[in-house]
Amino acid sequence: MKKTSLLALLSSQGVLIALALLILFGWLRYDNFLGLFNISTVLRYNSMFALVALGMCFVIMTGGIDLSVGSTAALGSVVSALLSPYGMLVGTLGGVAAGLCIGILNGVVIVRLRILPFIATLATMLAANGTALLLAQDQTVSVSYDGTFINLGQGDFYNIPIPALIAVVAYLIGSLVLNFTSTGRTVLAIGGNEDASRLMGLPVNRVKFLVYALSGGLAGLAGVILASQFGAGQPIEGVGWELFAIASVVVGGTLLTGGVGSVGATLAGVMLLGLIFNVLNFENGLGWISLSAYWQSVIRGLFLLAVVILQSRLATKESTA
């Protein structure tokens, strides 16, 4: 019994434990690992992935999947870059609206036409990619440096990067919605058993639609930050973001079958996968070994592997206990 509870602890808090261990390792081993510059760089860069992963987390909790987030973010970055001369507000709203459109399209195709989320979002991934390239005329679109638009991605608020603030606020709201609203509970109910939820009279279609719209909107927001942080709307960026987001969600302990999930653990999953890259850079900086950047994907893959095997061991333990 004791062993099972240890495993249970490892699985529910595993991602936090791993994250804490990785930070401890970095702090002991490298000089400036917890320095202001490094922390702010890591947070600034990974906040885009955090936003995308938040939307993905909600989608996966309903038992669905959203493959379109990467190219939706690229579309968002192009739209916001095109609108950036009109100021930060217009640029941001434009990018988010573009993402929202793709999300709404996903919702309509999945809920109304009843097409599997996997295929529906695969199609909108292509559509968003095509639209982004059309709008950008196959080039990167540089943003306007006259206005305030670049502050969004590059600025700080009391030393905290603004993108990180946005991500934290989004996660707080996400956590509140999931745990304290009927919509949030319906999300989990749908993932647990969609037919039963429907029979219980829960607004299954409306909530599913909302979840995909949310995922699109957050991807659009991530695109806005991308454009503002790197000074350009990038129509071909975002390749593989969807799978990185799925990996973060899974590492955070959310089951891909839906019905179970945690918003906070997803954030920890994003940070964990992001910090692996950071630690690798520091390790190379020490000069003892030289691991190319290509190792990061191998290590991330191994990490994902360890997590899913652990999860599956736990699931079999629980079902036999």
Partner 1 sequence: MSDTTSPKMPVANSFNIGAFITKHATLVALFGLIAFNMAFTNHFLSMQTLNVNLTQVATIVIVGVGMTLVIATGGIDLSVGSMMAISGAIAPLIFLGTAVKISEIHLAVAVGMIVAVVAAGAFGWFNGWLITRFRIQPIIATLVLFIAGRGIAQVSTNGNLQPFKLAQFQWIGLGRWFGIPVQVVIMVALVAIAAWILRRSLFGRQILAIGGNENAARLSGIPVARVKRWVYCISGLCSGIAGLVVIAINSSSDANLVGLGMELDAIAAVAVGGTLLSGGRATVTGTLIGALIIQLVRYTLLANGVNDDVAKLVKAALIVLAVWLQRHGRS
Q: Which residues contact 104 (CB under 8 A, 6 or more apart)?
A: 209, 212, 213, 216
Q: Is 301 in the site for partner 1 (CB under 8 A)?
A: yes
Q: Which stretch binds partner 1 (CB under 8 A): 35-43, 150-158, 202-210, 301-309?
A: 301-309
Question: In angstroms, what is the minimal distance from the CB of 123 to partner 1?
Answer: 4
119 binds partner 1 (CB under 8 A): yes
Q: Measured from the CB of residue 8, what is the shortest distance to partner 1 in angstroms?
A: 18
Q: Are 247 and 69 in contact (CB under 8 A)?
A: no
Nearer to partner 1, 39 or 236 (CB): 236
Q: Does 34 bind partner 1 (CB under 8 A)?
A: no
Alpha-carbon gap, residue 139 to 27, rounded angstroms: 41
Helix (H, G, I), strand (E, B) or coil at 86: helix
The residue from 43, 59, 100, 120 that contacts partner 1 (CB under 8 A) is 120
Distance from chain centroid for Cα 10: 23
316 binds partner 1 (CB under 8 A): yes
- Closest approach of partner 1 to the CB of residue 48, in Å: 18
Using CA atoms, how far residue 94 sits from 31, 88, 90, 293, 313, in Å, is 42, 10, 6, 34, 45
Longest dimension (CA), the chain: 64
38 CB neighbour count, 10 Å cutoff: 17
Q: Binding residue for partner 1 (CB under 8 A) from 4, 179, 181, 312?
A: 312
Is residue 294 close enough to count as binding partner 1 by CB under 8 A?
A: yes
Single-letter amino acid code for the residue at 155: G
Q: Crossing angle, helix 204-230 and helix 36-61, to 10 degrees?
A: 160
What would the x/- binding string for partner 1 be over residues 54 to 93, using CB under 8 A? Answer: -----------x-x--------------------------
Q: Which is nearer to partner 1, 35 or 301 (CB)?
A: 301
- Contact letters for partner 1, residues 233-252 (x by CB under 8 A): ------x---xx-xx--x--
> Which of 118, 145, 157, 180 forms a contact with partner 1 (CB under 8 A)?
118
Q: Is 295 in the site for partner 1 (CB under 8 A)?
A: yes
Q: Do residues 57 and 116 touch, judged by C-beta distance below 8 A? A: no
Please, what is the minimum distance in Å from the beta carbon of residue 180 to partner 1? 29
Distance from C-alpha of 225 to C-alpha of 239, rounded to nearest angstrom: 16
The pair of three-digit structure tokens given for residue 239, joined into one six-digit string: 């390749």
Torsion of CA 135, 234, 265, 283, to 10 degrees: 170
Binding site for partner 1 (CB under 8 A): 65, 67, 109, 113-116, 118-120, 122-127, 129-131, 133-134, 138, 239, 243-244, 246-247, 250, 256-257, 292-302, 304-305, 308-309, 312-313, 315-316
